[in-house]
Amino acid sequence: MSPAFDAAAFQRALQTRAVGRWMVYRDECESTMPLARREADEGAPHGTIVLAEAQTAGRGRRGRSFHSPAGENLYFTLVLRLSPAQQRTLPVALPLAICDAVRAEGVDARIKWPNDIWVGERKLSGMLIDAEAGPAGLVAFPGIGINVNGDPTLVPELAAIATSVRRELGRAVVRETLLARACSLLEAALDAPSDTLVPRYRERSLILGRRVVVAPTGAGAFEGIAADITDDGSLVVRHENGRHETVTAADVSVRPA
């Protein structure tokens, strides 16, 4: 049986002022996202992290379910009370921080636009950013799942499309250290000028220069070359006729190289 998350070890590894400093922990919940919203409504400070060992109803993008078995991975939502500039930076800062936290373990992780983390042709991490306006201003709720020490290939529907840090490295990693690094990198990224983040995001991109199929929300799918990532994290796609189209929200699949 996997050891329970060690909150004290996590706190010792943190190098932040706020992100991760206040933690709400659950052995199991339906999803950390509504718990984080409740904590925010009750005045949770900026940087609060809501973490669960298992989720029974984890949610991915477009309402999809997120496979969340117990014990070996990381499932968490943050309460972020950000300035308008930081809100604009978050869609770039968040996946970059998670990607670099995983890369520091030795995994060649890449960002599959907009904010999934992949290794080769397999997904390692997914995230969803919700936000709402409250009496104290806009609050962001980034929900993140990272496959750390579990093996998603044991699940038939994930066997060909998912991976984990342990599966890539052939060894277990310390979840507390990985999460602390991700929090520290996110806080630093939110404090950094956006024009320093986007070049790093581009360097980590899985899709730039590759042929992709783009399915925007509420529109028909189209195919083209992923040409660029804009300063606000939007995707620029080059059509066959040379026309460029900027996409802010869509599902993207990558054509085989």
Q: Residues 45-70: pLDDT tens digits?
A: 999 999 999 988 765 544 444 556 67
What pLDDT sits at residue 138? Answer: 86
Domain span at residue 59? 7-204
| 53 and 36 Cβ atoms separated by less than 8 Å | no
195 and 179 housed in the same domain: yes
Instruction: Say if pTM beats, i.e. exceeds, 0.85.
Output: yes
184 and 248 housed in the same domain: no
Backbone angles phi, psi at 18, to 5 degrees: -135, -45
Is residue 2 situated within a structural domain? no
> Which tens digit of pLDDT belongs to each residue from 88-142?
999 999 999 999 999 999 999 999 999 999 999 999 999 999 998 877 778 999 9
26 and 56 housed in the same domain: yes
The DSSP 8-state label assigned to residue 154 in this structure reads: G
Q: What's the CA gap between 48 and 142, in Å, rounded?
A: 11
What pLDDT sits at residue 64? Answer: 47
Last residue of a domain, one of 189, 204, 219: 204
The DSSP 8-state label assigned to residue 157 in this structure reads: G
Cβ-in-10-Å burial (0-12, 13-18, 19+) of 83 comes to exposed
Q: What's the CA gap between 156 and 48, in Å, rounded?
A: 35
pLDDT at 147 over 70: yes
Last residue of a domain, one of 185, 204, 223: 204
